[in-house]
Structures are given as structure tokens and as C-alpha cells.
Amino acid sequence: MTAPGDGRPAPPDGATTVGGEVEVPWHHMPVRVYWEDTDAGGIVYYANYLKFAERARTEMVRATAGDQTAILERHGVVFAVRRVEADYRAPASLDDLLDVATRITDISGARVTLTQEVRRGGEVLVRLVVVLAALDRQRQPARIPTEIRGLLGPLSRPAVVPPD
């Protein structure tokens, strides 16, 4: 068995790869909470959830379509965040092991919409809806190449968000 996207041997049971793992339709990336992530009370500072989500999105794209530099070189597009909505439900604390789960809920001509959940165990701490825009080398809106759409396809499922 190999780790998704990179051909390396899979980690032992219970371990994960650095970039996370794909479990269709979700990509999962573990994050440990360190002192630098917390406020004076030992609770994760709200803006750091955006950093966790950014890293997880980057690793999700890397695991499915390749790294952003290669996508820009080969296809002439890059993805940039256009909009983020965050619903903070419960705090994470120092030393918590979190799972940042990411899935694509829609792909249009030039946009990708994702749902991301920062979880501790089975509890959703933060739910984010992120809209990415495809940009060309001049940073103008661009269509997402068919090949990239196909590579992202396995993580593309309609959103089913449980009620609050």
C-alpha cells in the first residue's frame, strides 16, 4: 500500500503521512496544537484555524492534482482564496490533536468551493466554507483546466451539512 499521491510506503496503522490522507470524499490532515497556536489562556487563537485550513487545502491539492508550483508551470493557473466563512463552535486547546477534514462541494468554470472541518475526535470545532478562484499568470480570473477538474473530481461531492 502507498501513501496517496506520492508513491511512498503507507505509514503503520494509526499513523498518518505528513500531508494527510485521502478518504473519499474527504482529505484528512492531522494538526497538533502548540503554544504558538494559543492565546494566553491556552486556547487556539481564532485566526490560527485559518492557517490550519490553508495548510490542509494545500495538502489536499498536492495529494490529488500536484503542488501549486507544478500546476502553475504546467497549466498556467493558481488558486487564491476569494471568500471564507467560519463558524466557530468550540475551542481547541494546547496539545489537542486535531483533524482538518477538507472536501470539495462544488467546482464551476473558475471556482472551487470547499467545506473544511477542524475536528477533535468526532466533534466539529470549526466549520469553514472556502471559495477558491482560479487565476492565470497575470492574476486574472481563469477557467480551471479539464485535467485539474478531473484530478480534483474524487473529492468533489455535493455539500451535505448537518443542521446546527
Check if the beta carbon of residue 148 is closer than 8 Å to that of residue 65. Answer: yes
Residue 96 annotated to the active site: no
Query: What is the Cα–Cα distance from 21 to 58, expressed in whole angstroms?
Result: 13
Q: Which of 6, 13, 37, 39 is catalytic?
A: 39
Query: What is the Cα–Cα distance from 121 to 105, expressed in whole angstroms?
Result: 23
Check if the beta carbon of residue 86 is closer than 8 Å to that of residue 131. Answer: no
**C-alpha cell of residue 120:** 477533535
* 3-class DSSP state of 78: strand
Active site members: 39
